[in-house]
Amino acid sequence: MSQFTDQFWDSPDGLRLHYRDYAAAPDAPDGRPPVLCLPGLTRNARDFATLAEHLCARGWRVICPDMRGRGDSAYSKNSATYNPMQYVADVNALLEQAGVDRFVAIGTSLGGLMTMVLAMIDAKRVVAAVLNDIGPVIEPSGLARIREYVGQGRNFPTWMHAARALEEDHGAAFPDYETADWLAMAKRVMTLGQNGRIVYDYDMKIAEPFDQPGGEAGVDMWPGVDALAGRPILLLRGELSDLLSAETLGEMLRRLPGAQAVTIARTGHAPTLDEPPAVAAIEQLLAQVG
């Protein structure tokens, strides 16, 4: 039996968007803010399934949206709307329609950039935050790697073929993964297409405006880090990350007194948040919330 219900909300420009709503147990403490999980560029709500199940079993409501053009959310007819500010506008519409005025944000990659923007808009809503392998400075090597695969539209005859393709593309980031791990990843990021072949579960047009989220126009994202000061913050970094440098992480820690930083060993971009050190650190963060 699923621990979540499928819910929908309407974007400001009329798209029907989907999220998973993991309800907290009836005996959960009153007054806890929900946990809002924001995925990476080509990812979707399924990315957080293991973590969401873990947290809702411990009394937390968890909301996992599919951003426009991903998962069960509608695709946009205008590819220019596949940009971080539009995603934030969509999330704000979700929060308003769901009646959520305070939340704990867990943002992976692009989702972390969205978290920074949400904090810049209204920091009071962000009770605590996890930034997963992302910072205001994005390393060019990581961006170059992402450009090599995003929007390519590849498809595969079987799940095993899909898993092997993922291993070819991302093996350096997850050197300890075995076949079962790659199959699990494939089923998170891909789906069965109408033609019976396995396809990536996102609109290939998200690649059209993609350059450097948050930085393509020289946007300074450091104010987004500064806006998170004064609340519990967890900064996760994959030891092998090519997107978040140790230097950028160090400057983030300097600007966020009291923040915790955890490096996930033998992992690149981005930790999947089911690693025991990541789960333990997230639990420690939430213990500071209530």
191: in domain? no
Instruction: Let me know: does 281 contact 254? Beta carbons within 8 Å.
Output: no
| Residue 29 burial (10 A CB sphere; 0-12, 13-18, 19+) | exposed
**Which of 249, 245, 250, 248 shows the shortest CA–CA distance to 269?**
245
Instruction: Let me know: does 167 contact 180? Beta carbons within 8 Å.
Output: no
Task: Note the pLDDT tens digit of each residue in 249-288.
Answer: 999 999 999 999 999 999 999 999 999 999 999 999 999 9
- So what's the pLDDT on residue 209? 85
145: in domain? no
DSSP string, 61-121: -EEEEPPTTBTTSPPPS-GGG-SHHHHHHHHHHHHHHHT---EEEEEETHHHHHHHHHHHH
> What is the pTM (predicted TM-score) of this model?
0.96
- So what's the pLDDT on residue 28? 87
Quote the tokens at residue 28.
């959960």
Task: Compute the average pLDDT of residues 36-65.
Answer: 97
User: Has residue 224 got a pLDDT over 50?
Assistant: yes
| Residue 2 burial (10 A CB sphere; 0-12, 13-18, 19+) | exposed
Integer Cα distance of 100 and 95 in angstroms? 5
Range of the domain at 250: 4-139+212-287
- So what's the pLDDT on residue 211? 52
- So what's the pLDDT on residue 290? 83
User: Has residue 222 got a pLDDT over 90?
Assistant: yes
pLDDT band at 103 (very low <50, low <70, confident <90, very high): very high
- So what's the pLDDT on residue 2? 64
- So what's the pLDDT on residue 212? 43
Residues sharing a CB contact under 8 Å with residue 184, sequence separation 6 or more, in sequence order: none
265: in domain? yes
21: in domain? yes
Integer Cα distance of 155 and 186 in angstroms? 12
Percent of the chain with pLDDT over 70: 97
Q: CATH code at 270?
A: 3.40.50.1820
Q: In the predicted model, what is the mean pLDDT of the chain?
A: 95
Q: Total domain count for the chain?
A: 1
88: in domain? yes
Integer Cα distance of 200 and 52 in angstroms? 22
169: in domain? no
Task: Note the pLDDT tens digit of each residue in 144-191.
Answer: 999 888 988 899 999 999 999 999 999 999 999 999 999 999 999 999
Percent of the chain with pLDDT over 90: 89
Residues sharing a CB contact under 8 Å with residue 73, sequence separation 6 or more, in sequence order: 15, 16, 17, 18, 65, 66, 67
pLDDT band at 218 (very low <50, low <70, confident <90, very high): low
User: Has residue 219 got a pLDDT over 70?
Assistant: yes
Task: Compute the average pLDDT of residues 196-212.
Answer: 88
148: in domain? no
71: in domain? yes
Task: Compute the average pLDDT of residues 181-209.
Answer: 96
